Homo-oligomer: A and B are copies of this chain.
Amino acid sequence: MTTPGLNAACSTTIMSAASKPTTLWAPHEREKEPLAETGEPFSCLYAVELFADLTAEDMDTLDRMAPPRLFHSGELIFSQSQPIKALFILKAGRIRIFRVAEDGKTLTIAILEPGAVFGEMLLVGLQMYDNYAEALETSTVCQLSAADVENHFLSNPKMAVKISRLLGEQVARLEERLTDMALRPLSARTAATLLTLADAAPRSRFTHSVAVKLTHEQLAGLLGATREATSKTMSDFAAKKLIKQGRGRIIIEDAVGLRRTSRTTF
C-alpha cells in the first residue's frame, strides 16, 4: 500500500490516478502534460492518501483554497530565504528536495513524483528547516496556506494519526539511508537506491521492466557521490546486465541481482 519510496520530505508517493499515462518517457510528453492540466477543475487532493479521511465537503473547500501554481525546470519552490509557509501538493512534474553545504555541494534528500505532499514540517510546527525544493521539470504544485492547514487539519484527530504514520515511515527510511551511507560502499548504495527509486517510479503496463528517469548526475546527488563515480558504477552494472542504460533513464533489468549487490560489502 504505502510506497516505500526514498522520499523524506514528503512521504506518500501514491500516484495520482491520472498523472502518468502508460507511455513511458515518450518524447514530447513534457510539453503537453503540465500545461494542459493547469486549468483543469479537478482536485489536487483526491488522489493523495493523506487527505483520504476528509469529508467531501472539506476536500472541496480545501481544494478551492489550494491554487495550482506552475514552476519551471530549475525554479525553487522554497529555500532558506523563502521559508516554508504552506503545505505543498505536487500535481504534475517532479520536485527535488535537497540540502546545501557551505562549499556549495548538495545532497538531494528526495525526488518527488506526482501525488506527493511536501513542506510537511509546517504541520509539526518546525520553523528553522533548511531544505530547498526545486522543480526538476516543469511542474504544477498546489499550496495550502498555513492558516487553512491549521483549521482543517489539526482539528481532525484522524489527520494527526496519519501525519504520525507518515513521519514514522520517513524516520525509518532515513535511518536506513544513514546506515547505508555510513557502512556501505558506493556500489551497494547505488543498487539499493535504484531499487527504491524503481518502485516509486511510474510503471508501464506493457513492460515488466521499470525505468528510472534520472541522469547520472541526479542519481549522484541522491547517493552523495560524484557524477563520475556514479557513471562508473552504472557502467559496471550495465556490464553485469543488471541494468540497461539510456540517456537520462536507467532500466532495471535484473532486480534480484541488484538486490544482491546492494547487500555486498565490497
Contact A8 B177 (CB under 8 A): no
Contact with B along A174-198 (1 / 0, CB 8 A): 1111110111100000000000000
**Stretch in A49-57, A122-130, A203-211 touching the partner:** A122-130
Q: Chain A interface mostly helix, strand, loop or mixed?
A: helix
Contact with B along A148-175 (1 / 0, CB 8 A): 0000001001001101110111111011
**Stretch in A74-82, A84-92, A95-103, A247-255 touching the partner:** A95-103
What residue of chain B has the Cβ atom nearest to residue A178's Cβ? B178
| Docked CA distance A175–B129 (Å) | 10
**Inside 8 A of A121's CB, which chain B residues have their CB?**
168, 171-172
What residue of chain B has the Cβ atom nearest to residue A9's Cβ? B175
- Counted per complex, copies of this chain come to 2
| Docked CA distance A135–B176 (Å) | 22
CB distance from A233 to the nearest CB of B (A): 16
**Inside 8 A of A183's CB, which chain B residues have their CB?**
101, 103, 105-107, 224
Residues from 214 to 250 in A contacting B, C-beta threshold 8 Å: 224
| Docked CA distance A8–B170 (Å) | 12
Q: A61: CB under 8 A from chain B?
A: no
| Docked CA distance A103–B265 (Å) | 7
Q: A15: CB under 8 A from chain B?
A: no
What residue of chain B has the Cβ atom nearest to residue A167's Cβ? B167
**Inside 8 A of A174's CB, which chain B residues have their CB?**
171, 174-175, 178
**Inside 8 A of A172's CB, which chain B residues have their CB?**
121, 126, 129
Contact A181 B184 (CB under 8 A): no
**Inside 8 A of A169's CB, which chain B residues have their CB?**
124, 126
